[in-house]
Amino acid sequence: MTEPTFDYDLFVIGAGSGGVRASRIAASHGARVAVAEEFRIGGTCVIRGCVPKKLLVYASQFAVDLGHAADYGWTVEGARFDWPTLRNAVARDVDRLNAAYTQTLNVHKVAHFLDRAEITGPHSVRLTSSGQTITAAKILIATGAWPVAAEFPGAEHTISSNEVFHLETLPGRVLIAGAGYIAMEFAGVFNALGSAVTVINRSNAILRSYDFDLRERLLAITQARGITYRFNAPIDRVEKHDDGSLLVHCNDGGAPVPADVVLVATGRRANTAGLGLEHVGITLGARGEIPVDGEGRTSCPSVFAVGDVTDRVQLTPIAIREGHAFADAQFAGKASAVAYDAIPSAVFSQPPLAAVGLTEAEARERHGDIRVFTSDFRPMKNIFNRRIERGYYKLVVDAATDRVLGIHMIGPDAPEILQAAAIAVKAGLTKADFDATVALHPSMAEELVLMR
Ligand SMILES: Cc1cc2nc3c(=O)[nH]c(=O)nc-3n(C[C@H](O)[C@H](O)[C@H](O)COP(=O)(O)OP(=O)(O)OC[C@H]3O[C@@H](n4cnc5c(N)ncnc54)[C@H](O)[C@@H]3O)c2cc1C
């Protein structure tokens, strides 16, 4: 397997979800592997993405539950929230995971360089700090994605999701630019923790890829919870005043919005800047991604790419699967293509939403004749309190085959419930299979098998 002329069989650029998985699986197949990481081992998900974000979501849900506690007979006196305590606890867990991922590389005898790597040829990389050149039979690019930079005047006064975990204090007023999943998640976190939140978006919709009815429900609930939305409002400029406060001007003719923090969450682009792709003849795709075939091959035979940098589906479990499949194919001769159908996803908004398969609109377009079943219900936990937040589930079914094409849910614990339901969609089960399944009572999930 080893070309004796190379330092390694595989050199991986980026120790995130995809890179770490590819490294350890290739090493377990007997390959000599090295990985370079310019920031922290673990990558976006662990260091400044899914994991710390979810911990903030948990923290903010206490605020909601404390509000309900009195209805259930609890008196909670003197409840106060302290941002530095939470921020530091999250940072400690990130440190723990960083150490665990480093340990994984050590256990699998993967050499790691805490340095930035740039490609210098089909079989060589250069570490930018040390200046060292390393050769490898194969190079895997797993450099992830990066927040799209704001370009309006005053952008330097804004932050991205990279910085949001490190704020000194809990901001009184947060303005969030964008309405994708990261924007909606942080809107929910700051709203529940007590900040005044304004979401500003250049279009007139939130969460474009999700089913229309879920988006409408989330919008209504979050408005009722106090989040202000301003649509069709591209940001024109951000001014910073002497007291540190910010003023955000939009191009919609409306009044400027004061804020203490402006979080720009308008998307993430493949992270390829300065990577040296020109040395191996790789041309980027229309969205700035590295084009690859089903096995992660780029246009250069010895260079491969997985994860967000290929911009197929920017989710951690996909990066992991792509990294694993790459290593199996290249170092164990096991071809195992990643399947991109029926990928479950969630937005950890408040309430959360989750979905798998086709939306109603997509199913109508692709299958024509469909049946749609919905359940609009009041979650039992909300029965005592004054909240009129209702859950909403939708099953999209192919009329010809009875096959469930999509499941869409908004309500408490929707992501937890949907993970199990996604198995049914992946397995191609029918609406009749759902109907034949006995309800688990009392639960919210039982709505899934009670829709008629
Ligand atoms: C705020 C936030 C919340 C998210 N929440 C979720 C979620 O709930 N669920 C989910 O599935 N996904 C979520 N994601 C997306 C998820 O984090 C990514 O899909 C996943 O991390 C992609 O893995 P990757 O291996 O492609 O890249 P990454 O994990 O981004 O790893 C790339 C690594 O490469 C390093 N690197 C880049 N260039 C170089 C270089 N030249 N040399 C050396 N190192 C380099 C980077 O520092 C980074 O560590 C979230 C992302 C963000 C930002």
Instruction: Transcribe 129-162 into DSSP letters.
Output: TT--EEEEEEEEE---EEEPPP-STTGGG-B-HH
Q: Is the CB of 18 under 6 A from ligand 1?
A: yes
Ligand 1 midpoint to CA 140 (Å): 15
Q: What's the mean pLDDT in 348-374?
A: 97
In the predicted structure, residue 67 carries a pLDDT above the cut 70: yes
In the predicted structure, residue 287 carries a pLDDT above the cut 70: yes
Closest CA relative to residue 331, chosen from 140, 141, 135, 142:
140
Mutational test site, ligand 1, from 17, 24, 39, 44, max ligand atoms within 8 Å of CB: 44
Q: Which residues are catalytic?
A: 441
Ligand 1 midpoint to CA 288 (Å): 16
Q: What's the mean pLDDT in 295-305?
A: 97
Q: What's the pLDDT band for 381 if we cut at 50, 70, 90?
A: confident
In the predicted structure, residue 227 carries a pLDDT above the cut 90: yes
CA distances from 236 to 196, 239, 253, 254, 257 (A): 21, 10, 10, 11, 12
Q: Is the CB of 9 under 6 A from ligand 1?
A: no
In the predicted structure, residue 387 carries a pLDDT above the cut 80: no
Separation of alpha carbons 115 and 13, rounded Å? 10
Q: What's the pLDDT band for 449 if we cut at 50, 70, 90?
A: very high
Least confident span in 133-142, 258-267, 374-383: 374-383
- 38: buried, middle or exposed (CB in 10 Å: 19+, 13-18, 0-12)? middle
Given this model, what pLDDT does residue 197 score?
A: 98
Is the CB of residue 135 less than 8 Å from the CB of residue 123?
yes
Q: Is the CB of 102 under 6 A from ligand 1?
A: no
Q: State what percent of residues in the chain have pLDDT above 90.
A: 93
Separation of alpha carbons 279 and 275, rounded Å? 9
Ligand 1 midpoint to CA 356 (Å): 22
Separation of alpha carbons 425 and 397, rounded Å? 10
Q: Which pLDDT tens digit goes with each residue over 72-130?
A: 999 989 999 999 999 999 999 999 999 999 999 999 999 999 999 999 999 999 999 99
Is the CB of residue 395 less than 8 Å from the CB of residue 317?
no
Residue indicated by tokens 């490190």: 166
Q: What's the mean pLDDT in 304-315?
A: 98
Is the CB of residue 386 less than 8 Å from the CB of residue 348?
no
Ligand 1 midpoint to CA 319 (Å): 9
Separation of alpha carbons 123 and 136, rounded Å? 5
Q: Residue 426: which H helix or E strand, with range?
A: helix 414-426
Q: At what angle do helices 17-28 and 83-107 cross, to 10 degrees?
A: 20
Q: Is the CB of 352 under 6 A from ligand 1?
A: no
Half-sphere exposure of 374 (CA within 13 A, CB side): 13
Residues 6+ apart with CB under 8 A from 295: 304, 325, 326, 329, 335, 337
Q: What's the pLDDT band for 386 if we cut at 50, 70, 90?
A: low
Q: Is the CB of 160 under 6 A from ligand 1?
A: no
Q: Is the CB of 182 under 6 A from ligand 1?
A: yes
In the predicted structure, residue 347 carries a pLDDT above the cut 90: yes
Residues 6+ apart with CB under 8 A from 122: 139, 280, 300, 301, 302, 303
Ligand 1 midpoint to CA 142 (Å): 9
Closest CA relative to residue 174, chosen from 217, 221, 226:
226
Task: List, in sequence order, every beta strand (DSSP E) within 215-305.
Answer: 228-230, 235-240, 246-250, 257-259, 261-264, 268-270, 303-305
Closest CA relative to residue 347, chosen from 185, 206, 215:
185
In the predicted structure, residue 3 carries a pLDDT above the cut 80: no
Is the CB of residue 42 less than 8 Å from the CB of residue 21?
no
Q: What's the mean pLDDT in 7-17?
A: 98
Q: What's the mean pLDDT in 384-400?
A: 89
Would you list the DSSP string of 82-131? -HHHHHHHHHHHHHHHHHHHHHHHHHTT-EEE-S-EEEEETTEEEETTT-
Is the CB of residue 317 less than 8 Å from the CB of residue 323?
no
403: helix, strand or coil: strand
**Identity of the residue numbered 13:** I
Q: Please give the mean pLDDT across all residues of the chain.
A: 96
Q: Is the CB of 143 under 6 A from ligand 1?
A: yes
Separation of alpha carbons 181 and 6, rounded Å? 43
The token duo for 226 is 């106090």
Mutational test site, ligand 1, from 37, 50, 162, 272, max ligand atoms within 8 Å of CB: 50
The token duo for 431 is 């609406």
Mutational test site, ligand 1, from 40, 45, 207, 306, max ligand atoms within 8 Å of CB: 45
Separation of alpha carbons 165 and 181, rounded Å? 16
Separation of alpha carbons 440 and 412, rounded Å? 16
Q: Is the CB of 116 under 6 A from ligand 1?
A: yes
**Identity of the residue numbered 154:** G
Which ligand 1 atom minimizes the distance to the CA of 346? Answer: 8
CA distances from 345 to 28, 240, 352, 417, 424 (A): 30, 37, 11, 12, 15
In the predicted structure, residue 2 carries a pLDDT above the cut 60: no
Given this model, what pLDDT does residue 336 score?
A: 81
Separation of alpha carbons 354 and 153, rounded Å? 36
